[in-house]
Amino acid sequence: MPLTTPLAHRTRTPASAHHTPARRILAPSSAKKLSAKKTPLKKPVSTTPSTSKGWVAQSDPRNPNPPKNEIIPDWSRIPYLLWVKILREASYPLDDRDKIDWLVGASRTGSLLAEPALSVLYYRPPLLTRPMAHNLAALLAKDPSTTTFNYRAKVKKLDIDVGEIAAKTYRGQTLDLVSMVRNLPQLQVINFHHTKDLAPYRQLDENLRWQYPDSLFDALNGIPSPAAPMAVDVVRTDITKLAAWRWNRRMLGDLTFARIKSLHMSPAFAGLKKLSFVNCQVPSLHIHGSVDDPEIRAQDTAFVRALADAISALPSLTYLSAETSTAVNSELLSLLPKTLKTLELVNCWEVSGEDLAEYLLTHGRELEHLSLQHNQSLNLNFLPVLGQSCPKFKTLCMDFKYFKHHEFYSDGDPNYQEVLGVDEIPDWPASLEKLELKNMRQLSAEAAEMLFQSLVDSALNLPNLRHIDIKTMLDIPFRRRSTLRDKWVVKLKEVFLRDQADPKPFFTLRDDATNPTNDKIPRGTKRKARTSRLSEGETRRSRRIATQISNPPSREGSSGRDLTPESEASSNERAFRQGLCATVEVQLDNQKPIERTFGMEDFLDDEGSNDAEDSDWDGDVEADTGYAW
């Protein structure tokens, strides 16, 4: 079934109709098998019918070895919203055709899953190809009274690839975005994106050949189109209440920041909570001359202030994202609203650690999340003021992998001498929940130990911390690096990692525990269960012994306030055991971060390769050369 084809027929089934069995949800790889014939089902026969829930499959002559007493739950008792959550988790993300086909197949299994599956599919319809986008527009143009479901009310988000969908035609027609918007009363997010804006960020000057149409803004604000006849009832004039929007500098056309500010004050944009802007470069980047020229500097200042005014026009804004923009500097940070809860900076090479520290001191009272990715001049100099300036802070995610500005120049190195100084001791907020520092470099061994020790010393004051992921490159001799790795990986896990207890075995030796209804247990079940328990116990015991040998426990036990030995603690004090983190990952190596990390899939042979010419070496050495390759 194509993405936009409605069901031909729908039968509503009340929740209390237990006589309608529902088939199981199949895996995505089994989507093509959803049309198989049904297996007749009957009600279970049990000595305790009051506690029986579900269906017992009858014997099928096509299956010579059917499972005995297989219980199939009564799927009709699961509510609609829970089905939506289950199907959304099972199919996320909808980024390939197999997952889409599986979700469509799930909607065809019966009336029970039809609407939940289609609700998941149309919540953020995957527009992978131009036919998908145009078929969706055609479906939304139909009168909802003529379709099985009201598809217009199901669409909440639109993710449109400008280069493949919006800027190209399908059967001689461009995608009618205006009609789509007018037919979507529940639309909250429209995300226009282009692959040229993605890493490695070296196509930022190329023309995208598409601009935001003015008619789109009129449609969002419910302004009727002058070309549309007023007597047509299918054209909506309701106002779309957007929750998130993304501005791309190359798609603005003649739009100025003053015009964007007025749009932000319009009914459609006034309630924005999340705003992103991409590729906003100051004028001096494209002007020949010195940045110290007063005239050029005045243009940059006016540009930054106009952008800040457009951002400040949104009273409900809590999430701000900036990607690949030189306009993000100390001046812009000082002009941002103080109500932001999330700040995301991606590949903004003008902002530094000192700039961010000043921003946190003046604007950090409500800040909860920082996502700082690939910012070439941004180090960790702001950590000493993080705790005192951000009392509500929860997550810090940073990636120190940088990208070259030019293809054949090595200009992707950090623009700072060190990522963190030895005397710059971090002040961790008590509300911290997640710490992620990846691909760090320009870090000395002493500074690395200071960073790890600051976490250990603050363990007592970090009750909400659940995730630690730190990866850094240390340019020191491998023996010393190995010593530091062995010391701090073990210590951080001892202090923060949660104890993972093995689950109890399912089977026990008591009949009443495994079979409360006193049904007859198949012969051999007890013996197999006991054997399984013994093998699991032996495995756990051997694993525990190995752990004690490599990592001896502390003298105070392993639960509650477990303490490390005095020889491993600083100032002859024992470290407090927090023991609440589900993830503690610490990597210390000397591998320099690169733009692209190759994996095993990059070295596989092509499907059409000649196996005879590219077979594995059999060990024979040709006598004439003496070489094995």
At 321 the three-state DSSP class reads strand
List the structure tokens of 388.
Answer: 């005192």
Q: Which of 530, 519, 578 is nearest to 48 (CA)?
A: 519
Task: Say yes or no to pLDDT of 356 above 90.
Answer: yes
Backbone dihedral region for residue 374 (phi beyond 0: left; psi -120 to 50: alpha; all else: beta):
left
Task: Say yes or no to pLDDT of 538 above 80.
Answer: no
Task: Say yes or no to pLDDT of 194 above 80.
Answer: yes
What is the distance between the alpha carbons of residues 579 and 459, in angstroms, rounded to a whole number? 9
pLDDT tens track for 36-51:
444 444 444 443 343 3
Residue 216's φ and ψ, nearest 5 degrees, are -65, -40
Q: Which has the minimum average pLDDT: 320-329, 544-553, 597-606?
A: 544-553
Average pLDDT for 518-535? 45
Task: Say yes or no to pLDDT of 537 above 60.
Answer: no
pLDDT tens track for 132-168:
999 999 999 999 999 999 999 999 999 999 999 999 9
Average pLDDT for 402-423? 90
Return the pLDDT at 71. Answer: 75
List the structure tokens of 448.
Answer: 């690395």
Residue 163 contacts residue 208 (beta carbons within 8 Å): yes
Q: Across-strand partners of 440? A: 472
Residue 47 contacts residue 518 (beta carbons within 8 Å): yes
Crossing angle for the helix pair 97-107 and 80-91, nearest 10 degrees?
Answer: 160
Give 115 or 618, the one with higher predicted confidence.
115
Give 623 or 198, the one with higher predicted confidence.
198
Q: What string of DSSP letters covers 419-464?
A: SS-TT------TT--EEEEEEE-S--HHHHHHHHHHHHHTGGG-TT
Close Cβ partners of 491 (under 8 Å, ≥ 6 residues apart): 452, 456, 564, 568, 575
Average pLDDT for 516-531? 46
Q: Which has the minimum average pLDDT: 172-181, 367-376, 388-397, 539-548?
A: 539-548
Name the amino acid, one letter, at 87: L
Residue 119 contacts residue 89 (beta carbons within 8 Å): no
Residue 587 contacts residue 470 (beta carbons within 8 Å): yes
At 144 the three-state DSSP class reads helix
Task: Say yes or no to pLDDT of 270 above 70.
Answer: yes
Q: Which of 78, 90, 74, 155 is nearest to 122 (CA)?
A: 155
When pLDDT is cut at 50, 70 and 90, the band that residue 555 belongs to is very low
Q: What angle do CA 346, 352, 354 make, to 5 degrees?
A: 140
Average pLDDT taken over every residue of the chain: 80
When pLDDT is cut at 50, 70 and 90, the band that residue 381 belongs to is very high
Task: Say yes or no to pLDDT of 543 above 60.
Answer: no
Q: Which has the minimum average pLDDT: 217-226, 272-281, 426-435?
A: 217-226
Residue 619 contacts residue 506 (beta carbons within 8 Å): no
When pLDDT is cut at 50, 70 and 90, the band that residue 595 belongs to is confident
Return the pLDDT at 608. Answer: 52
Average pLDDT for 61-75? 67
What is the distance between the alpha carbons of residues 280 and 250, in angstroms, rounded to a whole number? 9
Average pLDDT for 375-394? 97
When pLDDT is cut at 50, 70 and 90, the band that residue 292 belongs to is confident
Task: Say yes or no to pLDDT of 19 above 70.
Answer: no
Residue 538's φ and ψ, nearest 5 degrees, are -65, -40
Q: Which of 116, 125, 107 is nearest to 88 (CA)?
A: 116
Average pLDDT for 398-402? 96
Angstrom distances, CA of residue 340 to CA of 44, 59, 367, 392: 57, 62, 6, 12
pLDDT tens track for 306-354:
999 999 999 999 999 999 999 999 999 999 999 999 999 999 999 999 9
Task: Say yes or no to pLDDT of 530 above 50.
Answer: no
What is the distance between the alpha carbons of residues 88 and 34, in angstroms, rounded to a whole number? 18
Return the pLDDT at 532. Answer: 44
Which of 19-28, 283-292, 611-620: highest mean pLDDT? 283-292
Altogether, the residues listed in the chain come to a count of 629
Return the pLDDT at 121. Answer: 96
What is the distance between the alpha carbons of residues 333 and 351, in angstroms, rounded to a whole number? 9
What is the distance between the alpha carbons of residues 77 and 18, in angstroms, rounded to a whole number? 8
Return the pLDDT at 455. Answer: 97
The separation between CA 119 and the C-alpha centre of its own chain, rounded to angstroms, equals: 21
pLDDT tens track for 228-261:
554 444 445 589 999 999 999 999 999 999 999 9
Q: Across-strand partners of 588? A: 472
Q: What angle do CA 538, 540, 543 make, to 5 degrees?
A: 105
Q: What string of DSSP letters covers 170-193?
A: BTTB---HHHHHHT-TT--EEEEE
pLDDT tens track for 478-495:
999 999 999 999 999 999
What is the distance between the alpha carbons of residues 504 and 529, in angstroms, rounded to a whole number? 12
- The pTM (predicted TM-score) of the whole model is 0.76
Return the pLDDT at 518. Answer: 47
Residue 162 per-residue DSSP state:
I
When pLDDT is cut at 50, 70 and 90, the band that residue 508 belongs to is very low
Average pLDDT for 118-127? 96
71-72, strands of its sheet edge to edge: 41-42, 55-57, 71-72
* Pairing relationship of beta strands 319-323 and 244-248 according to DSSP bridges: unpaired
Return the pLDDT at 407. Answer: 81
Q: Which has the minimum average pLDDT: 67-76, 424-433, 442-451?
A: 67-76
- CB-based burial of residue 423 (10 Å sphere; 0-12 exposed, 13-18 middle, 19+ buried)? exposed
What is the distance between the alpha carbons of residues 598 and 266, in angstroms, rounded to a whole number? 47
Return the pLDDT at 594. Answer: 80
Quick one: CA torsion of 533, 537, 540, 546, rounded to 10 degrees?
Answer: -150
Average pLDDT for 270-290? 92
Backbone dihedral region for residue 348 (phi beyond 0: left; psi -120 to 50: alpha; all else: beta):
beta
List the structure tokens of 75.
Answer: 């799927």
What is the distance between the alpha carbons of residues 87 and 31, in angstroms, rounded to a whole number? 14
Percent of the chain with pLDDT over 90: 62
At 533 the three-state DSSP class reads helix
Q: Which has the minimum average pLDDT: 73-77, 188-192, 194-198, 228-232?
A: 228-232
Q: Across-strand partners of 435? A: 396, 468
